[in-house]
Amino acid sequence: MKQADYMAVAEKAMNQIKKGAFLTVKAGEALNTMTIGWATIGYVWRRPIFMVAVRDSRHTFGIIEKAADFTVSVPMTDMQDAVMFCGTKSGRDYDKFKECSLELSDSKKVTSPIINTPGLHFECKIVFKAAMDPVYLDAECEKLYPDRDYHTLYFGEIQDCYEL
């Protein structure tokens, strides 16, 4: 494990996230991972922040609503099959970890585990969340929501960032 400065690896992470990364959340006994392709890494409220978006219809939404934290695992090896499966199948119906042979590892600073794979890992404590209000959404962006299935945005303060 190699410690990483979140801003030094932000571009590398964001380029990979466009292809898919894993958002993993644990609350009590509930645990799920899902593929994310939209996110933001930055600095807000004098804190390093990783913002993720979860649609209210997703199984992960019910878990993250009860969670204090989340992790983002950004694979740097070919995991396209697992990324595709975790982005198209629901944790309500499948054990994604078993189906995709995803190994979990304990995080160092948060409850939610990481996907044990070579890549970048962000451990984040939720400091703010907000449901999208479509009234304020740009018309071009609105086209991305034909079913009006909007996201809730979760701002996580980055507690740790490292590369496996």
Torsion of CA 83, 88, 65, 95, to 10 degrees: -80
Eight-state DSSP code of residue 108: S
Beta bridge partners of 24: 33, 71
47-98 pLDDT, tens per residue? 999 999 999 999 999 999 999 999 999 999 889 999 999 999 999 999 999 9
Percent of the chain with pLDDT over 70: 100
33-42 pLDDT, tens per residue? 999 999 999 9
Average pLDDT over the chain, rounded to an integer = 96
Its pTM stands at 0.95
Q: How many residues does the chain have?
A: 164
Q: What pLDDT is stored for residue 20 in this prediction?
A: 95
CATH 2.30.110.10 fits 2-163, yes or no: yes
Whole-number Å distance between alpha carbons of 96 and 76: 19
Q: What pLDDT is stored for residue 116 in this prediction?
A: 97
What DSSP string describes 79-93? -HHHHHHHHHS-TTT
Q: What pLDDT is stored for residue 82 in this prediction?
A: 97
16 pLDDT tier (thresholds 50, 70, 90): very high
Domain residue spans in the chain?
2-163
Percent of the chain with pLDDT over 90: 96
Strands 104-105 and 114-115: antiparallel
Q: What pLDDT is stored for residue 27 in this prediction?
A: 98
Diameter of the chain measured on Cα atoms: 44
162 pLDDT tier (thresholds 50, 70, 90): very high
How many angstroms from the chain centroid is the CA of residue 24?
6
